[in-house]
Structure 1
């Protein structure tokens, strides 16, 4: 009751300032009737309970859910303290628009809104890696415009956030998270680690976000969830690159159990470092740190490609290389080509998409690359992959060039299965 009074008084009397609440963003918990909201304050909330107030109209946020707080120190020399607050809205109705506001008795945010996903409808998702403000503002602007036009149900960032979250004693991360608030506070924003999040044992990505729990570490570094016809899996390729054998093996065991228990028609796997792509080298993407997760090494680092192929994963997306490239279905470096590269039916192996060109500092152009035999389409424009899952038999991807706010679609592709 006290929380409810605080929420109403904040709205009616304007007694608190939204300025102290920042970096508001949504994420999925894995339960279809829940929505998680995470936000930061630069100051602690002693003897104060953070909460979210929400409802179906902007002027009547009568429902409340208590949050929890985590204080954590940045890894910079100043050891700047920040405070992350998390709350979960539950018993939500699919398709319903909800309005919400987060904060405490000390300060409240603006009022935001979201539509609780209706998983019986087609899924629309933006997927990309390698985005910063410095070179990615055009992509951020386009994502905001697309969000305002209700073009997304979900946004997934596959590593390398902000370049880097920890720079300038974490101020860079604050600036980035505030810059994306205009889409991330309205559409679930799912993340996992790339190489730029490794610093100080993944300190920033562990403490700034709230991803589905995996039952192993529950620290945002690998996770999965179901959405309609799809099972999404996010893996931490940096365990391999950093030669973290224990973590690698635990993730592999978890992945095997997760795939074995998966009953969804489509399975989409994502990680940061690429296994296959064209580059300036004759062998293409073949860096030891990148392909260790693919091939493995003795008993210390179990390879993932055979496991993903065994469980008939449909689509694999990654970033790290700062361009876009769609490939044929591939297994063991061998492409499976068919008559129409724009429409593949009953693919015998996963289709691969490199989508690392959202807004990196050092962009790559395919004109400088030696194109590999497994490559179908390579593009140098800044942008992201747009995924649509229609039903149990058809999904599509396309590449959105963000040089224009309206977005230009450059690589239509359909994946079909019986």
Structure 2
């Protein structure tokens, strides 16, 4: 067989580098590893050739396997999703690689193995809602990524618009577009509403996140941070199984309980969540976050049994920062819980706040354009913008986190920034 339709499409995937497998029924990964994922239309071998930067060129070989993915569209297109794990990587070292087989090889790419220490300061790009059409932020993100500005990308739901369209060819094209980012740094994801077709099958098959839930929910550790990724969509697509939303809730509870234990919080004091549909927003539409009793925030009472919401759970375990998308805009909230503002002080609202901080950054660019806001901001809304753009975040240490929003409409100008400073983490920080 030969790769006649297209060359291999590599995507680096971070498997897990952590000292603690938090909240897991099984080990989600191993130390010093990276998962490479790519797609072919023919059944061929799954091979990655790689080498440490400056060493003997491509002197190491790793082999993996592929699974057949059949799209749910009318053509029932089949493709092979390849996954290869590179192990025993040296933290902080750069590796050059290509993937494929003797039937065809990708271009050469490089990545830096993540530091396994809890004392380093990881840097992130954060955004959601990027499509094939009108991907306004993509060019600058490519430039930033290849300039090594980021250690990790966090894509907070909604890809391609939509991956299932044209019998999943739109999904193929999206993967080609983000290759210039995702082949260089770990590309971590959560599902959005635009992935719902055929029970989220394109999302579940194309992305290789930690754990055994087909990337729907998972957690992982990086530096002083425990990051929890989950699916807000389980609250809305109950036709795929009401039991899933309860399974996720129980998993979230166990994961946060483990992460909040004093010995774990001492190592990784920051807990950050990422989910697609926000609990709060001040946009001028009828999305869930515009309702006082949003499903994600307070749950659903129209099911048997009722579905619990997530705000109380996240507050109970002292989640520090909640990252969202879905609204095609940027909005920074004051520290908020139950629609009430709990600033640290009038002069320094984000210094020792008494509630979690919410950030919505869903304006990376897609065919649906940006979303407007209601004329008067809510009391809990601190800053908002409908510019295309994305966020940058760096966790400096156990007490200081920096986040800024970049406007693609204004030549990458930083239009908003904040320091989140916490001397205490966990529920005791709210006292």
TM-score w.r.t. length of structure 1:
0.89
- Is the 2:370–2:388 Cα contact (8 Å) retained in structure 1? no
Specify whether residues 34 and 340 from structure 1 end up closer, same or farther in structure 2 by C-alpha distance, changes over 3 A only: farther
Give the equivalent residue in structure 2 for 1:13: none
Provide the C-alpha distance between the structure 2 equivalents of 1:250 and 1:316, rounded to a whole number of angstroms: 21
Deviation sequence 1:170-193 (CA, Å, 0-9, x none): 111111110111111001111121
Map 1:263-412 to 2 at 5 A. Answer: 263=264, 264-280=268-284, 285-287=289-291, 291-298=294-301, 299-339=305-345, 344-364=350-370, 366=372, 368-403=374-409, 407-412=412-417
- Is the 2:8–2:105 Cα contact (8 Å) retained in structure 1? no
- Is the 2:131–2:160 Cα contact (8 Å) retained in structure 1? yes
Provide the C-alpha distance between the structure 1 equivalents of 2:40 and 2:52, rounded to a whole number of angstroms: 26
Map 1:204-243 to 2 at 5 A. Answer: 204-213=202-211, 215=212, 218-243=213-238
SS of the residue corresponding to residue 314 of structure 2 reads helix
SS of the residue corresponding to residue 335 of structure 2 reads strand
- Is the 1:274–1:354 Cα contact (8 Å) retained in structure 2? yes
- Is the 1:343–1:414 Cα contact (8 Å) retained in structure 2? no
Deviation of 1:76 (Å): 1.3
SS of the residue corresponding to residue 22 of structure 1 reads coil
SS of the residue corresponding to residue 359 of structure 1 reads coil
Deviation of 1:285 (Å): 2.8
Deviation sequence 1:232-289 (CA, Å, 0-9, x none): 001111111112420011111111111111122000011111110102269993359x
Map 1:145-184 to 2 at 5 A. Answer: 145-184=143-182
- Is the 2:282–2:373 Cα contact (8 Å) retained in structure 1? no
TM-score w.r.t. length of structure 2:
0.86
Provide the C-alpha distance between the structure 1 equivalents of 2:42 and 2:421, rounded to a whole number of angstroms: 51
SS of the residue corresponding to residue 361 of structure 1 reads coil
Q: RMSD over aligned Cα, in angstroms?
A: 2.2
- Is the 1:164–1:196 Cα contact (8 Å) retained in structure 2? yes
Match for 1:251 among 245, 248, 253? Answer: 248
Deviation of 1:363 (Å): 3.0
Give the equivalent residue in structure 2 for 1:7: none
Deviation of 1:291 (Å): 1.9
Give the equivalent residue in structure 2 for 1:10: none
Structure 2: segments with no counterpart, 5+ residues: 18-30, 424-431
Provide the C-alpha distance between the structure 1 equivalents of 2:108 and 2:286, rounded to a whole number of angstroms: 53
Specify whether residues 366 and 337 from structure 1 end up closer, same or farther in structure 2 by C-alpha distance, changes over 3 A only: farther
* Counterpart check, 1:191 vs 2:181: no
